[in-house]
């Protein structure tokens, strides 16, 4: 069963003591495991043993975890949709917009936002995204992918990577510019 394979993989790599996304993935994994066990069991179990992984997952494992979570759980997509709609409406009349994403990961939130901007009457505004993440290489790769997408949609775009932990961020790292509407995102 495909669900069991995914859950087996997730149980090996998630940790309840990692960063916020790892803790969320751990909670969802535990809930999905309990749900699957209750669905398949003839007698519902009151507890589902969950192996504890004391070693935090590496970047590739985090990517896999997030991809599985994003595909399996509509809540993350809904949160992105809701945030995008609020940002889109706030930027309705703006010509230059700057979004600071405090945990960009793979940038899954932004393709739909860019598509909405591309369809905006009068054309898309200039969009600049500052992506924050703890892995500078991963943030740059996300920026490369988003830049390619923006080009294909004809959305004027610039990506500014900030490879830092949240607690190490300083205001100057965001390169604020006069005339830009600003939104800060942390979904």
pLDDT of residue 46: 54
pLDDT of residue 20: 66
Q: Parse the chain into domains and list their residue ranges.
A: 2-72, 76-185
Domain 76-185 grouped into CATH 1.10.10: no
pTM reported for the whole predicted model: 0.67
Q: Can you read off the two tokens belonging to residue 162?
A: 């900030």
The tokens 């959305």 sit on which residue? 155
Averages of pLDDT over each 10 residues, the chain, 187 residues? 76 72 76 77 54 62 74 84 96 96 92 95 96 93 95 97 92 94 95
Main-chain phi, psi angles of 157, to 5 degrees: -145, 145
Three-state DSSP class for residue 106:
coil
Please check whether residue 126 is in contact with residue 156, taking contact to mean a CB–CB distance below 8 angstroms.
yes
Half-sphere exposure of 86 (CA within 13 A, CB side): 14
Give 7's DSSP letter: H
pLDDT of residue 57: 66
């Amino acid at each position: 069963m495909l669900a069991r394979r995914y859950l087996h993989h997730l149980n090996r790599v998630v940790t309840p003591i990692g960063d916020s996304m790892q803790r969320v993935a751990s909670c969802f994994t535990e809930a999905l495991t309990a749900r699957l066990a209750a669905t398949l069991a003839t007698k519902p179990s009151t507890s589902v043993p969950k192996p504890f992984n004391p070693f935090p997952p590496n970047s590739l494992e985090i990517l896999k975890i997030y991809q599985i979570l994003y595909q399996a759980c509509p809540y993350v997509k809904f949160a992105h949709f809701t945030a995008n709609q609020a940002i889109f409406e706030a930027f309705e009349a703006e010509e230059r917009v700057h979004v600071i994403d405090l945990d960009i990961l793979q940038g899954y939130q932004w393709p739909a936002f860019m598509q909405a901007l591309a369809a905006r009457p009068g054309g898309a505004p200039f969009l600049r995204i500052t992506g924050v993440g703890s892995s500078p290489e991963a943030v740059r790769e996300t920026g490369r992918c988003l830049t390619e997408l923006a080009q294909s949609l004809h959305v004027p775009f610039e990506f500014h990577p900030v490879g830092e932990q949240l607690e190490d961020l300083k205001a100057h790292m965001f390169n604020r510019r006069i005339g830009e509407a600003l939104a800060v995102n942390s979904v």
